Structure 1
Amino acid sequence: MSNGADTKRNRGILTPEQLRQWDEELASDPAARLAMNAVTRTAIDEVALDRERLLNVPLSMSHRLDNWEASDQKRSGRCWLFAALNLLRSDARKKLNVKNFEFSQNHAMYWDKIERANYFLEDMIGLAETAPDDRVTMFLLGNVLDDGGQWNMEVAVFEKHGVVPKALMPETESSSNTSRMNDSLRTLLRKGARLLREAVAAGQTEAEVTALKQSILRDAHRVLTIHLGVPPQNFEWRWNDDDTFHEGGNFTPQSFLAEFTDITLSDYVCLIDDPRAEHPKGRGYTVAHLGNVVGGDPVLYLNTDTDTMKRLAAETIVAGEPVWFGCDVDPQMESKQGVWSANLIDYSAVYGVDLATTKEDRVRYGDSAMTHAMLFTGVDLVDSTPRRWRVENSWGIEKFDKGFCTMDDSWFDEYVFEVVVHKDRLPAELREALTATPTALDPWDPMGALA
């Protein structure tokens, strides 16, 4: 028995002889030495960049909507809220007759955070009798109150709490740099989870447990308001457009949303490309425990192919409306000009190591997920077929083309995971999927990633 165990243990040891052999192989390889000389002095993306491919992605678009300034999420993970508010402001600008206008992203985050704290505590009450190391409970504790989110979550916030002009609830230090605020809130809520579990274990009544939850939420509200300020409930709005002064009137956040946008958010649906074979196309999916507003609509995805996603997104842009989408933003991006293209950066050639993989394998093995949301504001079509896409990012006007990027259509296939379109544009089979009960994915499923 001991000989077998020793053999198995020895088989896993990294020996000096192996390391010496690899050093000798590397030293005798001129391409490896050249790559090392380059990469130790220059950023790998510059060395690996396919410049000819970069030049073959021009910035022109046959259909372009944006004539406004890009927004800036700064050091926060609010891209999903920025993208949605950028969609809404494309409508509001027309009604206000102004070029540049922004809704308050701070206001949207404030209400998402307090609602998400309540959602989390309700989950903790529901899971209070699970074992301390229950996988769902531990996952939720490890991911409490992240900045990111998904389309249905922002719809739930806007429908309940409305929107306000940015001037009425501007950015604060913490809205632009959320880490310390989030740390404090996470500590508070994890402590609250412990107290709620202990209360349930002690046999406290439902009313007593609810009162405890409310006291925890009161403290979360206090912390959040100290960091972000007090959201306006009623306000006067008057403005100047290029020609005229407008009295506007008195509004609530909800009435302001209704007055200055015509977009009915609940009429939109999120299409995803989940490439895994066990998740058939044409089906609806949701993610267990993913949400923010208790009582709001659950997250819903309709799984389809990228060709359908592209066609519906392009139709929407041609009709004059930008498109919210989610992607894995980092791979294959030239960061100076803001250009994405499949195989734009050839790491394999620099290393002499095969790094090629498929979208399905990247999702399955944790190498890719929908971690960033942006807005399509243009598309270049040839015979109704898209060649490239114009993208409004939320990283400020100093980067890229004054904050806007260009996506080659090849990148869409590999790294775009979701687009949001109006229900009326769906083909018949996807409309049918809307009425079926969606398949619930585990909380840790890659499709539960937060943009």
Structure 2
Amino acid sequence: MSEITTELLKKYQADYDQSTGPKILSHAIAKQGYLDSIEDNSVLRRHDFVFSDETKRGEITNQKRSGRCWMFAALNTARVDTMKELNLESFEFSQNYTLFWDKLEKANYFLESIIKTVDEDLTSRLVMHLLKDPLQDGGQWDMFSGILKKYGVVPKKVMPETYHSSNTAVLDSLLTKKVREIAKDIRNKHAEGASEDELRTFKEERLSVIYTMLTEALGQVPTRFSYSYRDKDKKHHTIKDITPQEFFAKYVGWDLDQRISLINAPTADKPYGRAYTVKYLGTVHEAEPIHYINVPIEVLKEAAINSIKAGEPVWFGCDVGQISNRQIGVMDKDLFDYEAAIGEPFNLNKAERLDYGESLLTHAMVFVGVDLDENGKPIKWKVENSWGDEPGDKGIFSMSDAWFDEFNYQIMVDKSYVPAEWLKALEQPLVELEPWDPFGALAVY
């Protein structure tokens, strides 16, 4: 039968009445919800927030009401080298500065994509995908790498937060309205016979209004600045008349071409040992395309552990909302006893969750430690989040190694921490994934 009948409903009710689960659990779920009712307290005892290997880190940061987690995670990773270079206990880069350039560059990237697809039907899946959310806050590591290469960084005091950098919803909405309007005008001009050069000239002219809106909301971006500070020995220093690009080169010092993203996608369509990119995904239009190497989860862990042992934090992207308690800062796949509540567990594996839309990368954070057993195998991971110091252990989260297996999707490390056999993937042509592939998802929480 195709419909839900009265007889079928009676059977469902009988099944519930005969279930072996304690009915008191139903009362608890109705009163306080599933998660609080089925949280396994014994699991929390595994997370003492003590780790065998740790890196240096700065004070906990707070992205507030914005989706800049990927920026915070990247800058929190980079600042450790700045803290060493300047002899500081802590330091914070301006996330507002990088937000400004991300929004402007995303607007340009989106409009270039519109120019590229002017002959596509407006209702095509591709054009609808491009129009869906062109200026959202989220991103991935390679998108941020392009911003760092082109624009560098500045200390937070040089370009501090504004209302809209910490509360991006209205700004995002207004910017999106405007770029969609510009996209409409570009397609109309093309229909009227405008050349590609004419469309691009029009785009460049209209980007001026985006720049104006960003300057009003986020402030003017510095092109040169001076920075005064006291180091941890209380000595005063001033760095005079420096550009953001020079500051990054001198006080972070990363060779961005040596930084690589590894992903773990155990799906049939993405063989291990190949490098992948995603069509129409990027920020800086002229930057290298996004690329990452798909490797087994053990390789991902090995590279992360190698980096942590060398004192270097690790940027990573995961599905943070899966089986986690935000308030206590614990991510553990055994945290909730779903079987006790509904009579059976959830049975999709990692590949199936990706294939069926049940999981994808949603949030970026930083590994700043790992707890290894006597055989050097990870037990749990120390995570620096960017949600302020109230959640978790004053902003620090604890992730079980089994949770890492199931819900961690991407890390960024120096190539020196990756076995050479896997880096050979970069010698082959990039495999292009469709724009709506799960690995085109952006870290945005």
CA distance in 2, matches of 1:105, 1:201: 40
Deviation at 1:28, TM superposition (A): 5.1
Q: Which residue of 1 aligns with 2:143?
A: 153
Amino acid at match of 1:18: L
Q: 2:251 aligns with which of 256, 260, 275?
A: 260
- SS in structure 2 of the partner of residue 45 of structure 1: helix
Q: Which residue of 1 aligns with 2:421?
A: 429
My pick for the range that moved more, 337-346 or 317-326, is 337-346
CA distance in 1, matches of 2:421, 2:343: 45
Q: Which residue of 2 aligns with 1:314?
A: 305
CA distance in 2, matches of 1:85, 1:53: 32
Q: Which residue of 2 aligns with 1:59?
A: 49
TM-score normalised by length of structure 1 = 0.94
Deviation at 1:346, TM superposition (A): 1.8
Change (3 A) 1:126 1:30: same
Deviation at 1:41, TM superposition (A): 1.6
Q: Which residue of 1 aligns with 2:231?
A: 241
2:440 corresponds to 1:448? yes
Deviation at 1:236, TM superposition (A): 1.2
Q: Which residue of 2 aligns with 1:393?
A: 385
CA distance in 2, matches of 1:335, 1:220: 35
Deviation at 1:274, TM superposition (A): 0.7
- SS in structure 2 of the partner of residue 375 of structure 1: strand
Q: 2:73 aligns with which of 72, 78, 83?
A: 83
Sequence identity (%): 40
Deviation at 1:226, TM superposition (A): 1.5
Amino acid at match of 1:430: W
Contact 1:328/1:368, CA 8 A, preserved across alignment: yes
Q: 1:106 aligns with which of 96, 99, 103?
A: 96
Contact 1:120/1:144, CA 8 A, preserved across alignment: yes
Q: Which residue of 2 aligns with 1:3?
A: none
- SS in structure 2 of the partner of residue 189 of structure 1: helix
Q: Which residue of 2 aligns with 1:122?
A: 112
Q: 1:439 aligns with which of 407, 431, 434?
A: 431
My pick for the range that moved more, 409-418 or 375-384, is 375-384
Q: Which residue of 1 aligns with 2:285?
A: 294
2:345 corresponds to 1:359? no
Contact 1:69/1:402, CA 8 A, preserved across alignment: no
- SS in structure 2 of the partner of residue 325 of structure 1: strand
Q: Which residue of 1 aligns with 2:127?
A: 137
Contact 2:133/2:176, CA 8 A, preserved across alignment: no
Contact 1:32/1:352, CA 8 A, preserved across alignment: no
CA distance in 2, matches of 1:335, 1:43: 15
2:50 corresponds to 1:50? no
For residues 100-127 of structure 1, the C-alpha deviation after alignment (integer angstroms, 9 at most, x for no partner) is: 2100001111101100100000000010
Query: Aligned residues, how many?
Result: 441
Contact 2:65/2:168, CA 8 A, preserved across alignment: yes
CA distance in 2, matches of 1:75, 1:282: 38
Contact 1:71/1:395, CA 8 A, preserved across alignment: yes
Q: RMSD of aligned C-alpha atoms?
A: 1.5
Q: Which residue of 2 aligns with 1:171?
A: 161
Amino acid at match of 1:304: V
CA distance in 1, matches of 2:117, 2:208: 21
Q: Which residue of 2 aligns with 1:273?
A: 264
2:305 corresponds to 1:305? no
Amino acid at match of 2:381: W
Deviation at 1:57, TM superposition (A): 2.8
Contact 1:66/1:378, CA 8 A, preserved across alignment: no
Q: 2:212 aligns with which of 215, 222, 247?
A: 222
Deviation at 1:13, TM superposition (A): 2.5
Deviation at 1:14, TM superposition (A): 2.5
For residues 53-83 of structure 1, the C-alpha deviation after alignment (integer angstroms, 9 at most, x for no partner) is: 2212332111112453111111111111000
Deviation at 1:220, TM superposition (A): 1.2
Amino acid at match of 1:413: D
Contact 2:228/2:237, CA 8 A, preserved across alignment: yes
Contact 2:66/2:165, CA 8 A, preserved across alignment: yes
Contact 1:326/1:371, CA 8 A, preserved across alignment: yes
- SS in structure 2 of the partner of residue 270 of structure 1: strand
CA distance in 1, matches of 2:434, 2:263: 16
My pick for the range that moved more, 137-146 or 348-357, is 348-357
Q: Which residue of 1 aligns with 2:314?
A: 323
- SS in structure 1 of the partner of residue 21 of structure 2: helix
My pick for the range that moved more, 283-292 or 417-426, is 417-426
Amino acid at match of 1:328: D
2:30 corresponds to 1:40? yes
CA distance in 1, matches of 2:245, 2:260: 21
Contact 1:325/1:373, CA 8 A, preserved across alignment: yes
Deviation at 1:175, TM superposition (A): 1.0
Gapped regions of structure 2 (runs ≥ 5): none
Gapped regions of structure 1 (runs ≥ 5): 1-10
Amino acid at match of 2:47: V
Q: Which residue of 1 aligns with 2:408?
A: 416
Q: Which residue of 2 aligns with 1:4?
A: none
Deviation at 1:98, TM superposition (A): 1.8
Q: How does 1:5-16 map to 2 (within 5 A)?
A: 11-16=1-6
2:352 corresponds to 1:372? no
Q: Which residue of 2 aligns with 1:211?
A: 201
Contact 1:273/1:303, CA 8 A, preserved across alignment: yes
2:222 corresponds to 1:232? yes
- SS in structure 1 of the partner of residue 129 of structure 2: helix
TM-score normalised by length of structure 2 = 0.96
Contact 1:35/1:351, CA 8 A, preserved across alignment: no
Q: 1:251 aligns with which of 235, 242, 262?
A: 242
Deviation at 1:262, TM superposition (A): 2.3
Amino acid at match of 1:297: E
CA distance in 1, matches of 2:209, 2:6: 57
